[in-house]
Amino acid sequence: MLPLPDLDELIAASHVVILPMRVRFRGIMSREMVLLNGPSGWSEFSPFTEYDDAESARWLAAAIEAGWEGFPEPRRALIPVNATVPAVPAVRVPEILASFDTTVAVKVKVAEPGQTLDDDVARVGAVRAALPAAAIRVDANGGWSVDEAVHALTRLADFGLEYAEQPVPDIAALAAVRRTLAARRVPVLIAADESVRKETDPLAVARAGAADLIIVKVAPLRGVRRALEIVAAAGLPAVVSSALDSSVGIRAGVALAAALPELPYACGLGTVSLFEADVVHDPLIASEGHIAVRDVAPEPDLLERYALSGQRRSWWLDRLRRSYAVLAAEARV
């Protein structure tokens, strides 16, 4: 385990920024984050604001790994990526897809609070109409009950889904949905996301036979090396995804995808295209459906333009200190 750098070193390396977005995603129109300039490169600390200190500490562990240890050697130079369509009205789907490069796979958000299954069907249908040959996967973020998930996925299966990501909240429910769909011969694979990254035991979903594949994200799994260990132990195909990151954060996801022994699915690392601005002039976005493995460093003018100051800057630095305290306590055990 990498020794923790001094807290004062982390604070001195911190740049707190806010980036505007093109479209509402997870209920927000801007993304706040701390960028860290470490001896091995830049990294990002950006747990969502509702996460507690214990969960946020995992994100800080990943940022420290990236900035103070660096990434494993890559096995591949190009990473296939999917486009992401938020829970927008179907009429906006062409606009969203136009912000991405060549699109061979699309993740579509479904089960949005306040929306109906008909909204989801219309949105997925609009994607299929625009991209007849693309692989389509849907992400419910645990928003359905077992019965709702079975009903919804039975309808959405008509669009030829590649898989459904976290249709229900917990592992037992995932297993129930998977069994029921198989019994009814509904050809939709089940992917676990929150049931991997939010569980105390990220391998529980594999032991329960609750998923056909797993979604892995670097930050909530404490870094690239820990994520590689989890994928190896789970014995399931993996899709690398992101958490709405700047190009600095996406670089860590690219490093994980590049280091995996196998990469059978396009990765969910195309979310920089959902931002109105980034901290680099040459962002990590797909070209011809792939992101090239390369390092990125924020531009000084963009760090200055999008810098957070005052109370919000203090809030993020206080959060970094609390998360550091969690890691320091773990290190003493």
Which active-site residues does the annotation give? 109, 217
Measure Cα distances from 38 to 11, 55, 64, 65 in Å.
11, 22, 8, 9
Tell whether 139 is in a known binding site.
Answer: yes
d(CA 208, CA 192): 12
Q: Is there a contact between 45 and 59 (Cβ–Cβ < 8 Å)?
A: yes
Q: Is there a contact between 302 and 281 (Cβ–Cβ < 8 Å)?
A: yes
d(CA 31, CA 47): 10
Measure Cα distances from 50 to 62, 249, 284 in Å.
18, 19, 27
Element (H, E) at 333: none
- How far is residue 35 CA from its own chain's centroid? 17
Q: Is there a contact between 138 and 161 (Cβ–Cβ < 8 Å)?
A: yes
Element (H, E) at 138: strand 135-139
Nearest CA to 111 out of 101, 119, 103 is that of 119
3-class DSSP assignment, residue 127:
helix
Tally Cβ neighbours within 10 Å of residue 198. Answer: 16
Burial class (CB in 10 A: 0-12, 13-18, 19+), 162: buried
Tell whether 165 is in a known binding site.
Answer: yes
Tell whether 55 is in a known binding site.
Answer: no
Q: Which residues participate in the annotated binding site for Mg(2+)? A: 139, 165, 193
Which residues contribute to the annotated binding site?
139, 165, 193
